[in-house]
Structure 1
Amino acid sequence: MAQKLVIVGAGMASGRALEHLLEAQADAYDVTLFNAEPRGNYNRLMLSPVLSGDKTYAEIVTHDAEWYEAHGVTCRFGEKVISIDRARKVVVGENGEVPYDKLLLGTGSTPFMIPLPGHDLEGVIAYRDLEDTERMMQLGAVSGAKAVVIGGGLLGLEAAAGMAAQGVDVTVVHIMGHLMERQLDEAAGYLLRKALVDKGITVLCKANSREIRGENGKVRALMLDDGTELPCDLLVMAVGIRPHVALAKAADLAVGRGVQVDDAMQTSDADILALGECVEHGGAIFGLVAPLYDQAKVVAKTLLGQPAAFVNKEVSTKLKVTGCDLFSAGDFAEGEGREDIVFRDPARGVYKRLVLENNRIIGAVMYGDTADGTWFYNHIKDRTDISEMRDTLIFGPAFAGGSPVDPMAAVAALPRDAEICGCNGICKGTIVDAIGAGAIDLGKVRAVTKASGSCGTCTGLVEQVLAVSLGDAYAAPAAQPMCGCTDLTHEDVRRLIKASELKSMPGVWQELGWKTSCGCHSCRPALNFYLLADWPDDYADDPQSRFVNERNHANIQKDGTYSVVPRMWGGITNAAELRAIADAADKYKVPTVKVTGGQRIDLLGVKKADLPYIWADLNAAGMVSGHAYAKGLRTVKTCVGTDHCRFGTQDSTGLGIKLEQRLWGSWTPHKVKLAVSGCPRNCAEATCKDVGIICVDSGFEIGVGGAAGMDLKEIQPLAKVATEAEAIELTVAFVQLYREHAKYLDRPYKWLAKVGLDWVRAQIVADKAQRAALVARFDHSQTIYQIDPWDALSSAEAKRAFAPLADLTLEAAE
């Protein structure tokens, strides 16, 4: 009969230990797994991409319900463990007791909350789990929202970057002189700060927090020591973590800074093991994933009665913050007898610094180009004498012999014990052996060895090892499938929808071999858009396959209320519209009225039940939805042009209004923003929009593919035309080409990077017949879908129907 193993905590460390245990001897234990969160193991390193919108939660799940069921693990998720009765060998949960033969504690850590006055206000949170992430994502739906992040370490910067990507105005407050001072030297910290500021994040270093101020029980602002007040709707503390030891301490286990364990990961009770961020080993506590995974291997062997010992090895840190590559390893502090080799390339934003002592590398810091990080780290670890390559050392392995060599040859020359994946401690030899045993692509190598399976920063290096090992037999990695329901990519699905004339979602699921008959939160919104865009006459929009904001025709706010944004054509309004907005604000007790960055007025804090009624009043005044919630046209920003400005060269306001009236209501793969500036002074900020038009004396310069979020992109020149009619025709054709070819949730600049601007020009600038056909298809689609959703909800019957419509369950992150 199998022994009983109880695990407390379903985090990454205990999840990896469980994997090793089941792989070695699946029937050794009858496993019960407790977790206070209402879910199992997910990759917390990937919460930042979820926050920024690059990934969904489903994509970072490590062990889903099917995995636990297939391995016979009894899951007690959402249930806290109250106590451990060591005498009876029983774990006491909220819903009853579970006996154990062996107990594994993986209780992790708790975020440290600075005990500032006001730290217990509503809206003061940490950044540790999915709930924190979702809270920050909700703030992104609030127009004009502000957030303050206390802490300029990795976690704080990831929180700031993710919220900024959602459109939040973010300020980072850091008490030290430069960011990430534990991992970066001052020069690299300066470059990181500059990159963040360039992306719109305010960074305050040497700033000490004094007090958190609130109003009606909610956070309102952070007060600094110098009297500066930073207004905020959300305050995130990311100032460190502490081992979560309360359960172990109550059970009278040996506890120092963490739960004390020996080399076998056993606590002071031989039948209770511990691992992860909750433990203390040899006086050290742990926050990086690499040592946690080493501990997991030892735990599995100890549970199986096999000899094993955890050794706390020096690790490198390869990080990615807001698109900035960072690497640090070893000791990079200044000291007697040490010397630096520094490489700077300001134009490329590259900085590298090596710290040498006695002809050995003892520390390395890199910013902007970290490709050689593993090579330098291996020299630090191996204490390599670098005297013979000192002159070219800073240039990495490509110049190790004094002259440039093929980078692939440098990978081939790495020894078998060279570490490739720092998170999982996987060396080149392990990967090469796995390839020799049949793991001939990245997915199979990852499945067998775990390399590139955690933070993902070593993925490129793993692919290089594959290419070197397989030679001509190596196939470049295929594009990622659309979701877990299918092996097809977005591009494959879209092509087949057209080629096979699939005109319904059930038809796609059936004909394309979907693994589930009703799709998931990732593929349903995409399929809904593809079918809508490709078959406007045959496909009816499915509200259940839209994100929550699009289903409710409004942006949900963090307190459950909604924002109402009437459309203002080209930013132009009049007294009657303003009077209607003011009357609506009074009638429905709207707490906040905000002028948006897109030249409109946002009514914030409207109750869901009032949405149909406030819109009935606004519709009566001639105003339609601004679609501020939509994957569609948002705004066309304009300056006053020749109407009032002495510098204006063309009627930018009039052109902006014509474009907005032509394009509004069109569903697109992602939100689309336009701007028209009346002269090259660019007051409408046209050079960072999806489509930007600059008026000049000779006509109109049209650019596409700009962005002003976390990726700052200047528009690329599409065409120069002489007339308004040509400018409108080219813009409409571009939007339709984007609708017909782009991957769902790709902004135009990402789509352009894939297809190339030359291809786009060939379609809509050079080929006038193709351009006309695109415009015709767009206009035809508009005859079907260019409606104000609130006008359709004006009847009493529609108002009654709205409440259940708003409660549909597809709550995927936008």
Structure 2
Amino acid sequence: MQPIVIIGSGMAGYTLAREFRKLDSEHELVMICADDAINYAKPTLSNALAGNKVPDQIALGDANKMATQLNMRIETDTWVKEIHSDQHELVLEKNGQHSTQGYSKLILAVGANPIRLAISGDGSDDIHVVNSLTDYRAFRDSLENCGKENCSDKRVVILGAGLIGCEFANDLQNTGHKATVIDLAPLPLGRLLPAHVATAFKENLEETGIQFVLGTTVERISKHEKQGYIVTLANGQSLLADVVLSAIGLQPNIALAKTAGIHTSRGVLTNALLETNQANIYAIGDCAEVNGTLLPYVMPIMQQARALAKTLAGQKTSVHYPAMPVAVKTPAAPLTVLPAPLDVEIEWETEEYDDGMLAKATDNQGTLRGFVLLGPTAGKQRLSLTKLVPDLIPASV
């Protein structure tokens, strides 16, 4: 029998392998990845500085350790060039050499890549993105080199005031850096928060020294002979930076799926069984758009992995999405968000506290569909409120 093949060694791929091994210790598993397949939790990258963790401490295990632990063959530095779904076969490339790999079931756990803005200037190639441990090592090296070069201010300019941008800003500001966040939107986390909560969140972060430059975007990044980089904005303002980090969002990797005739939209389209339109091909993680919903967060990945592991082990199981709040790692402004479904018309009701606020999103039937908890007092209501919100994808009967 052909092996089950997982493409991708991120949290989705490794979590699925771990869940499957709980149910089946023998069926051959193969993981194929374009990098070194080091296992780590990507969410830890945006608060590793304050946690005093260097990159080597973030890694949980290399490919050899994980292969032994999960009784799995891991092919590192290997690219999947083609999927031949009719033959249940992959075309691989490693070190310039091509080979084939058969599969009985194929799982796309190929994740998402950072969106990159087209920015001019001789410093644009030095913009960091952090979407992997390798990226993070390069980012940390730049921060440390800045210190060696006596950059007294350690100025970091962050492009993007979304969840990741704000988490990095909080982490940097709390560890002796000066963080400035730039975004075209008028407020941080504008897609997740109502304006009045976003305003309070921004003010809390500003109290720590984080600066926001909003309603504009970066046009040019130029190298400065003595002071790092000059960041020129569309509003005419210029900033000095020692390091520039882009955190403007992720785009699911769908190119491989598209070439194989697998249906895609924003992500790889699947049903509740995580099946694509091609037989025996599934998608999981940041690349998977399940029943029209794309949720690039940890809890959905866990739900997907548990369900798909059962399906691969012979027990067809639909993924269940209960209400899954997202905790934003900004200790200066503790925040938990449960976004309401985009296709539901909602109204916001707000309760204010001395240390924050609670905002509830209710539909026209008066049903709670989402919420935002800002501050320690509001945060205590997370569990009780979560129980009131209907499942996003109900459990199958």
TM class, shorter-chain normalised? 0.7 to 0.9
Q: Is the 8 A contact 1:137 1:166 kept in 2?
A: no
Q: Find the aligned partners of 2:5 and 2:347 in 1 and give their Cα distance.
A: 50
Cα shift at 1:109: 0.4
TM-superposed CA distance for 1:246, in Å, is 1.4
Higher strand share: 2
- Aligned 1:256-267 pairs, distance under 5 A: 256-267=265-276
Find 1:368's aligned residue among 353, 375, 378.
375
Is 2:264 aligned against 1:255?
yes
Deviation of the 1:17 alpha carbon:
1.2
Equivalent residue, structure 1, for 2:356: 350
Residue by residue over 1:418-448, the C-alpha shift from the partner in whole angstroms, topping out at 9 and shown as x without a partner, is xxxx9xx9xxxxxxxxxxxxxxxxxxxxxxx
Matched residues in 2 for 1:339 and 1:149: separation?
30
Distance (whole Å) between structure 1 residues aligned to residue 16 and residue 241 of structure 2: 41
- Corresponding residue for 1:43? 41
Give the whole-Å Cα distance in 1 for the aligned partners of 2:348 and 2:38: 48
1:299 to 302, 308, 311: 308
Letter in 2 for 1:207: T
> Aligned in 2, Cα 1:36/1:255: closer, same or farther, shift over 3 Å?
same
Aligned residue in 1 for 2:30: 32
Is the 2:322–2:390 Cα contact (8 Å) retained in structure 1? Answer: no
- Cα pair distance change 1:254/1:206, threshold 3 Å: same
Partner residue, 1:200: 209
- Residues 83-482 of structure 1 correspond to what in structure 2 (within 5 A)? 83-95=82-94, 96-118=99-121, 121-141=124-144, 142=146, 143-144=150-151, 145-214=154-223, 220-331=229-340, 338=347, 340-345=349-354, 349-356=355-362, 360-369=367-376, 370-381=379-390
CA distance in 2, matches of 1:15, 1:327: 26
Summarize the Cα distance change of 1:362–1:257 in structure 2 as closer, same or farther, 3 Å threshold: closer
Distance 1:284 1:363 in 2: 15
Q: Sequence identity of aligned pairs in percent?
A: 23
Report if aligned partners of 2:29, 2:71 keep a CA contact under 8 Å in 1.
Answer: yes
**What runs of 5+ residues in structure 1 fail to find an aligned partner?**
383-421, 426-814
Distance in 1 separating the partners of 2:367 and 2:346: 12
Q: Which moved more, 1:44-53 or 1:207-216?
A: 207-216
Q: Give the aligned length.
A: 377
Larger radius of gyration: 1
Q: 1:321 Cα shift?
A: 1.2
Residue type of the partner of 2:295? F
Match of 1:81 in 2: 80
The question of 1:70 aligning with 2:69 is answered yes
Shift of 1:330: 4.7
> In the TM superposition, what is the alpha-carbon distance from 1:112 to its structure 2 partner?
0.7
Shift of 1:301: 2.0
Letter aligned with residue 306 of structure 1: Q
What's the CA shift for 1:148? Answer: 1.1
Q: TM-score, normalised by structure 2?
A: 0.84
Distance 1:319 1:336 in 2: 24
The residue type paired with residue 296 of structure 2 is G
Take 2:255 and 2:158, find their aligned partners in 1: how far apart are those partners? 27
Change (3 A) 1:91 1:155: same
CA 367–339 in structure 1, closer or farther in 2 if over 3 Å, else same: closer
Alpha-carbon distance change, 237 to 47 in structure 1, aligned in 2, over 3 angstroms: same
Q: 1:101 to 1:339 in 2, by over 3 A?
A: closer
Give yes or no for contact 1:17–1:296 (8 Å, CA) kept in 2: yes
Once residues 267 and 150 of structure 1 are traced to their aligned partners in structure 2, the CA distance between those partners, rounded to angstroms, is 34
**Aligned partners of 1:219, 1:9: CA distance in 2, in Å?**
36
Report if aligned partners of 2:359, 2:373 keep a CA contact under 8 Å in 1.
yes
**In structure 2, C-alpha distance between the alignment counterparts of 1:10 and 1:19, rounded to whole Å:** 12
SS of equivalent residue, structure 2 residue 334: strand
Do the aligned residues in 1 keep the contact of 2:230 with 2:239 (CA within 8 Å)?
Answer: yes
Counterpart of 2:53 (choices 40, 52, 55) is 55
Higher relative contact order (CA 8 A, sep 6+): 2
Q: Is the 8 A contact 1:264 1:308 kept in 2?
A: yes
Check 1:51–1:129 CA distance in 2 against 1; reply closer, same or farther (3 A cut): farther
Could you say if the C-alpha distance between residues 341 and 251 of structure 1 is closer, same or farther in structure 2, counting changes exceeding 3 Å?
closer
The 1:24/1:260 distance shift into structure 2, 3 A limit, reads same
- Whole-Å Cα distance in 1 between the matches of residues 10 and 113 of structure 2? 13
> Helix, strand or coil: the match of 2:117?
coil
- Write the deviation string for residues 344-397 of structure 1: whole angstroms up to 9, x where unpaired: 31xxx3222334565544442221111211211212338xxxxxxxxxxxxxxx
List alignment gaps of at least 5 residues for structure 2. none
Distance 2:255 2:348 in 1: 45
Shift of 1:97: 3.0
Q: Is the 8 A contact 1:139 1:168 kept in 2?
A: no
Cα distance in 2, alignment partners of residues 297 and 238 from structure 1: 30
Tell me the amino acid that sits aligned with residue 117 of structure 2.
Answer: I
Across the aligned residues of Structure 1 and Structure 2, the Cα RMSD in angstroms comes to: 3.0
The structure that is helix-richer by fraction is 1
CA 1:120/1:75 → structure 2, altered by over 3 Å: closer, same or farther?
Answer: farther
Compared with structure 1, are the counterparts of its residues 178 and 97 closer, same or farther at alpha carbon in structure 2 (3 Å cutoff)?
same
What one-letter code is carried by the residue in structure 1 that aligns with 2:237?
A: T
Q: Secondary structure at the match of 1:152?
A: coil
Counting only pairs closer than 5 Å after superposition, residues 796-811 of structure 1 correspond to structure 2 as none
Q: What is the TM-score when the length of structure 1 is the normalising length?
A: 0.43
- Tell me which residue corresponds to 1:779: none
**Contact (CA 8 Å) 2:123, 2:221: kept in 1 or not?**
no
In 2, are the aligned partners of 1:220 and 1:233 still within 8 Å (CA)?
yes
